[in-house]
């Protein structure tokens, strides 16, 4: 089905070859790979999952670990900034409350 869909695209100039035999899956995959190499990325259709529950689980091998590490570093920095701002807000609020409950000083 995927091979037929790919070869039916207007940007694909090759004709669909129906493979048979023991190497059918390998030959089909090679045919599809050859087409994908020849056409440009903007010409490719976008495929999405209708129901994410039907997607196979991802393993660590499917992640770009360097991007994941950068994202974690960004989150760590943002969390530190948030924590610092929260501590400053708490400090200022404590000062305001203490000033509000402090008995007035008497002028002589």
pLDDT tens column, 30-74 = 888 888 777 766 766 667 677 878 777 777 777 777 888 899 999
90 in any annotated domain? yes
pLDDT at 72: 94
Query: What is the 3-class SS of the chain, one letter each residue?
Result: CHHHHHHCCCCCCCCCCCCCCCCHHHHHHHHHHHHHHHCCHHHCCCCCCCCHHHCCCCCHHHCCHHHHHHHHHHHHHHHHHHHHHHHHHHHHHHHHHHHHHCCCCCCC
Inside any domain, residue 107: no
Q: What is the mean pLDDT of the chain?
A: 82
In a domain, 7, yes or no: yes
Q: Which pLDDT does position 108 carry in this prediction? A: 58
Q: Which domain holds residue 46?
A: 2-101
pLDDT band with cut points at 50, 70 and 90 for residue 84: very high
Q: How far apart are CA 90 and CA 97, in angstroms?
A: 10
Is 77 or 34 the better-scoring residue by pLDDT? 77
């Amino acid at each position: 089905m995927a091979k037929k869909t790919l070869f039916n695209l207007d940007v694909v100039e090759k004709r669909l070859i129906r493979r048979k035999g023991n190497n059918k899956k390998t030959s089909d995959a090679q045919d599809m790979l050859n087409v994908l190499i020849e056409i440009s990325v903007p010409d490719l259709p976008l495929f999405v999952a209708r129901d994410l529950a039907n997607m196979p689980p991802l393993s660590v091998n499917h992640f770009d670990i360097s991007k994941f590490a950068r994202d974690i570093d960004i989150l760590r920095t943002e969390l530190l900034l948030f924590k610092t701002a929260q501590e400053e807000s708490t400090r200022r609020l404590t000062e305001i409350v203490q000033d509000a409950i402090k008995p007035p000083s008497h002028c002589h």
